[in-house]
Every structure is written in C-alpha cells, then in structure tokens.
Chain A
Amino acid sequence: MGTTTTLTTAIETEDLVKTFKATRALDGVNLMIRRGSVYGLLGPNGAGKTTTIRVLTTLLQPTSGRAIVLGHDVAREAAEVRRKVSLTGQYASVDEDLTGFENLILVSRLMGLSWRDARKRSTELLGVFGLGDAAGRQVRTFSGGMRRRIDIAASLVTRPEILFLDEPTTGLDPRSRNQVWDLVRQIAADGTTVLLTTQYLEEADRLAERMAVVDHGRVIAEGTSRDLKASVGSNTLRLQLARADQHGAARAVVSQLLGDGFLPDSDATALAIKLGDAAIAPDVLGALARANVALAGFSLGAPSLDDVFFALTGRPADDAPGEPARTKQKEQKS
C-alpha cells in the first residue's frame, strides 16, 4: 500500500486467516480502520474478536492473509508494531502480587522511562485513574473495576498510536463500566486510535464511530451504528407478559396491528417487536390492553446484538467454540 493510505489508515487486513488445529478462528477477515477513530469489533464469544486482536498486536502469526498496522506488516515488522501499539487484554494483564504503583513503574521502565520519570508518570496515571489511594496495595486486593483501570493505565504509560482493548467492560458493574467508557472517550479525544471488542451493541454504539460485526471468523456487517441499527429497525419494543398462556393472544394482537416484526423471544413470557417508528408503541400497548392481555412490564429500546445478529444471519448469536482455549478462571466480577 502507498504512503498516502498509511497516513490515514491505522489498520488494514486482507483475507486474514488464523487456524488452530481443527478450528478456523479467523476465516478471511477484511478490515479498514481509519486513524483517530474508535472502532468496535462486535460479536458473540468465539466469533474471532480476541484472535483478531492477538494477530494485530503480534501475539499470533496469521496463517494466511495480511495485516498492516500503522504501515507495518504484523508478521514481518512485529517490533515496529509493538513500539506503536498497546494492548489491554481480556484478563487483567498486570502482576497481582505487585502494588498498583509498582505495576506502572514496571511497564514504564520497560517502555524506556528513567526511574524518575517512571515514578512521576505512574503517580500521574494513578491520580487520573482514581487509584491514588490504592497505589500501595497489591493488585490482588483490587475490585474488578480497579483492575481494569490499572490495566488500561499500564497501556497508557507512553502514548500508543493505537490502543487495543479486548472486552474492556466484561464483568464490570454499571458504574465501573461508565468509568471505562469515559476513559475510552478521553483516550480517543487525545488522538489515540482505539480498537475495542465487545459483545454489546450498546457499548459499540456509545463509543465507536464505526464497527464490524464478526461471526465465525468473518466480518458479516460493517458500518456506523446507525447503518447497523437501520438494518434491524430503529427500535425494539419488549413486552413482559404477566401470564405465559396469553403469549398467543398477545402475538395475535400485535400481528393484526403491525403485520410481522417479531424478534426471537428470550422466554415464554417475553415478546420483542421491531418497530419502524417509536411512536407506534402506545398504539401497541393500547391494543393489548383492550384485548385484556396483562403486562408485567415493557420497555422501548435500541436493538441488542442479538437483534442485529438475527437480522443479519437469521439466527440468534450463539457462542461459537472458535477461540483458542484460554483459562477463564481470571474472569473478574467487581
């Protein structure tokens, strides 16, 4: 590729394939990610998100195809890529035995800061990430949210051109999740390109300008969240029925009003309906009330990853056993 494209392109992959023995974790991934953006890789467990990130951060060699990161081929110029990108993996990749401060010093020193600068930068980062009070505590005593923050902080000791975040909010409580979102926005505002993976459309929607939906090692859709949502229908009305035996009656009322538009149900008392326009929702509720269908609750919201998947593939997002087996014991709950 020419120099002009590398100035504006952060990541480009061409038919990227990665096989692990029998499984084809990546089955021809094509991505084009612009510099200075937040890009989301959206997909269920095992879709190939982590494998993609591991290839792009030089941890895995692609089986075939090409991946160019900031103008460097990941297979042939790994050292150059490592110099310019940072990775925050799915499992907090900090030393649990060390304190938060020591972990940052460790990474700072490995990135070439002097002891003095390392101490200064580590203190600075701990403050910014709200970990100043916990600086002297071993990371094993940190909550899930704190671990995630120290992990992201470790990736920002020097300023990476691309920050890879693998499921940065998985297992976090809502408050910690919001904090991580704020951080990601700030890092992006600072000029760093961010590539994050997520299982939640909402997360990609809130953070990423563009996203790719990944399924079985392939990109099955790409675009802005508006593009993706348009393919599903802009709103989803979720009904929680008070009585399971009224499921049929409720469906009948809705079909009479809207024709079709049912999304896969999560259980026997739930009904998810695609609405072209949110303004129809009161009509649906009114019709149900007139038909004496009792509701335990309802919500009107944006479509979920499940809805997107259903719209794109005609089946719900299932957990495909595609990713290499990594120990899951480190899954943190805060």
Chain B
Amino acid sequence: MSLDAIPNAIEPLPLSTKPRNVSALSATGTLAWRAMLKIKHVPFQLFDVTITPIMFTLLFTYIFGGALGGSPGVYIQFLLPGILVQTIVFITVYTGVGLNSDIQKGLYDRFRSLPIWQPAPILGALAGDLFRYSVAASLIIGLGLILGFRPAGGPLGVLLAFGLVLIFAFALSWIWIIFGMKVKTPESVMTTSFVFLMPLTFASNIFVGIETMPGWLRSVVRHNPVTHLTSASRGLMHGGSVTSDVLWVLAASAAIVAVAAPIALRMYHQER
C-alpha cells in the first residue's frame, strides 16, 4: 500500500508543550465533538434511529390504527406521542453499546490516563446521544404531521413533550452505562437491554389505553414510568392536564439518576 510508505529517516520530533489545565466543560465539549464526528463518519448508526421509528409509525397507524382507534387518522393522534416515547426509550441503549465498544477497543484506557475531568468521556458521549434523540424525534414528528397528526398544544406543547422525553432518556442512559461497563461485548448490551425494554414499552399505554387491559396488568402498567411519560407527552402535545404525570416522570428520572449515576461513575473509576 503506497500510503503506508514512510520516509526512511523520520524527522526529528518538534518540541512540544506541557499539558495545560482543561476545564470540565471544555473536556466534555471536546468529547461531545468526537461523538458528533462519529455520527458524521458512520451515518449508518443513524439507521436504527430513523428507519425503525418510521416503520413502527406506519405499521401501527395503518395496520392497527383502524382496529385500535376507529381509523388511522384518529389513532395517530393517540399513537404519535407514544411512538416518540418508545423510540427514544429504545435508543437509549446505544449509550451503553457505544461505551462498551470504546472500552473494548482500549479507547477508555487512553481517556482515563489523561489529566482530564474523569466523567467527561461519559458526559460527552451522552451529549452525542442527545443529538441522536433529536434527529429521531424530528423525524417522527415530521412524519406524523404528514400523516395527519395535529397537536392541539402547538409547537410549544410538542417541544415541551420532547424535552420531558429527553430528561427521562438521559436518566435511563445511566442504566445502560452500567450495563456497558459490566458486560463483555456491545452485542450483549443490546441483547440484555431488550429483556428490559420490551416489557417497559409494551406494558404501558403507548399503543392502547390502560382501560383495555385486565385488572392485574393495569396495576402494573399504572406504575410503569413509561406510562406516565406517555400520558404527559400526550397531554403536552394535545393540551390537557399533565401536572401529576410530569411530576411523576421528573421524580422517576431524578431517582434513576440519583441511584445509577454514582454507581456508574464509581465503576468507571474502578478497574476492569
């Protein structure tokens, strides 16, 4: 390979400087920049984030919409805020997948041996994930609008709903960070996650109202944070009372972060 050619005599190394202190914010920003570059170089990683939700929206709207909501046009009003929740909740797992592959490749050894604020690589990656969530959300809402979704809450309602979903996704990501450090391969992060994500999203009111379910299931679904997130996101998009659901989601998110983040950061500091 001609590009492999290297001059026989390597030039003398130019004098280099001493490392300077980097603020936590600057280190996190740099690592967020890295996350964006990865998306730029491997746009395929956006495939899951874009194609799956589009397929789900179309499938449920047109195949099940008539049966579940009377007609696709009616059902999509109910479905769309829920599909947004489901999509974002599902792709939070990529936080763990990405972290795991960085660890396996030895990249985190370098980050951990650098004189930077130690949580920066994790937070930088999370910032990249937020971008991914935004892409997915814009696509779903855009597609919804084309298919006849008409949010009564207006753009502000939609934005608030998306903001709330982001907060919950950020919280959930910490759980995948723990998984990402625990398991051996990125693939097993994926596999393990489905065991949790399937019940979490399907045992909720995303696709059908809670009142259609048998009593025992209802009490389970009612305590699923995803149910509250979906109700809140519906309420915000369509206009309706949301206070208790929003508070529920915020409390659940805070609780997850309060428990998972310290564990994750502790594991990150420790050896592997």
Binding site for B on A (CB under 8 A): 54, 57-61, 79, 82-83, 85-87, 89-99, 102, 106-107, 109-113, 117, 121, 124, 127-131, 133-134, 137-138, 143, 145-146, 149, 154, 156-159, 179, 182-183, 186-187, 190, 324, 327, 329-330, 334
Residues of A within 8 A of B17 (CB): 113, 117, 121, 158-159
Contact of B113 among A85, A99, A134, A138 (CB under 8 A): A85
8 A-B pairs with CB atoms under 8 Å apart are: A54-B271, A85-B113, A87-B109, A92-B105, A94-B107, A154-B110, A324-B272, A334-B4
A22–B116 CA distance with the chains assembled, in angstroms: 33
Pick from B3, B106, B115, B184: contact of A90, CB below 8 A. Answer: B106
Q: Are B110 and A138 in contact (CB under 8 A)?
A: no
- Closest residue of chain A to B23 (Cβ to Cβ) is A112
Given contacts A106-B30, A179-B6, contact A92 B106 (CB under 8 A): yes
- Given A93-B106, A106-B34, A112-B20, check contact A128 B113 (CB 8 Å): no
Interface membership of B12, Cβ < 8 A: yes
> Quick check: is B55 within 8 A (CB to CB) of the other chain?
no
Given A96-B105, A159-B15, the answer on whether A82 and B10 have CB atoms closer than 8 Å is no
Q: Which residue of B lies closest to A109 (CB)?
A: B30
Q: A111-B19, A112-B20, A128-B14 are in contact. Are A57 and B113 (CB under 8 A)?
A: yes
Docked complex Cα distance between A324 and B103 (Å): 14
- Give A274 Cβ to nearest chain B Cβ, in Å: 36
Complex Cα distance, B16 from A118, in Å, reads 11
Other-chain contact of A87, B7, B37, B42, B113 (Cβ < 8 Å): B113
Q: Give Cα distance in the complex from A54 to B108, angstroms.
A: 12
Q: Is the CB–CB distance between B107 and A93 below 8 Å?
A: yes
Q: A85-B113, A89-B109, A93-B109 are in contact. Are A145 and B4 (CB under 8 A)?
A: yes
Please determine whether A138 and B41 come into contact, CB atoms closer than 8 angstroms: yes
Known pairs A59-B109, A124-B14, A327-B104; A110 contacts B42 (CB<8 A): no
**Which residues does chain B contribute within 8 Å of A327, judged by CB atoms?**
104, 184-185
Main secondary structure of the interface of B (DSSP, over half): loop
Do A97 and B109 have beta carbons less than 8 Å apart? no
A130 to B11, CA, bound (A): 9
A98 to B109, alpha carbons, bound, how many Å? Answer: 17
Q: Besides the contacts A121-B16, A330-B104, what 7 more A-B pairs have beta carbons closer than 8 Å?
A: A98-B38, A109-B26, A110-B31, A117-B17, A130-B6, A130-B7, A186-B10
B22 within 8 A of A: yes
- Smallest CB-CB separation from A108: which chain B residue? B30
Residues of B contacting A159 with CB < 8 Å? Answer: 15-18
Q: Cβ of A158 and Cβ of B19 under 8 Å apart?
A: yes
The 10 A-B residue pairs with the shortest CB-CB distance, nearest first, are A130-B6, A112-B20, A93-B110, A93-B106, A91-B106, A83-B115, A159-B16, A109-B30, A82-B115, A111-B19
Q: Is A130's CB under 8 angstroms from B42's CB?
A: no
Is B37 touching A182 in the complex (CB atoms < 8 A)? no
Inside 8 A of B37's CB, which chain A residues have their CB?
Answer: 97-98, 102
CB–CB B20/A113 < 8 A: yes
Q: Is B21 an interface residue (CB 8 A)?
A: yes
Within 8 A of A (CB), among B1-57: 1, 3-7, 10-22, 26-27, 30-31, 33-34, 37-38, 41-42
Q: Are A87 and B110 in contact (CB under 8 A)?
A: yes
Which residues of B lie under 8 Å from residue A94 when comparing CB positions?
A: 107, 110
Does B182 sit within 8 A of A, measured CB to CB? no
**Whole-angstrom CA separation of A159 from B185 in the bound complex:** 34
By a CB distance below 8 angstroms, the chain B residues around A131 are 6
Q: Are A330 and B5 in contact, CB atoms less than 8 angstroms apart?
A: no
Q: Could you say which residues of chain B place their CB within 8 Å of the CB of A106? A: 30-31, 33-34
A20 closest partner in B (C-beta): B271
Complex: how many Å from CA A112 to CA B114?
11
Asked if B105 and A128 sit within 8 Å, CB to CB, the answer is: no
Residues of the A chain whose Cβ atoms lie less than 8 Å from the Cβ of B33: 106, 109
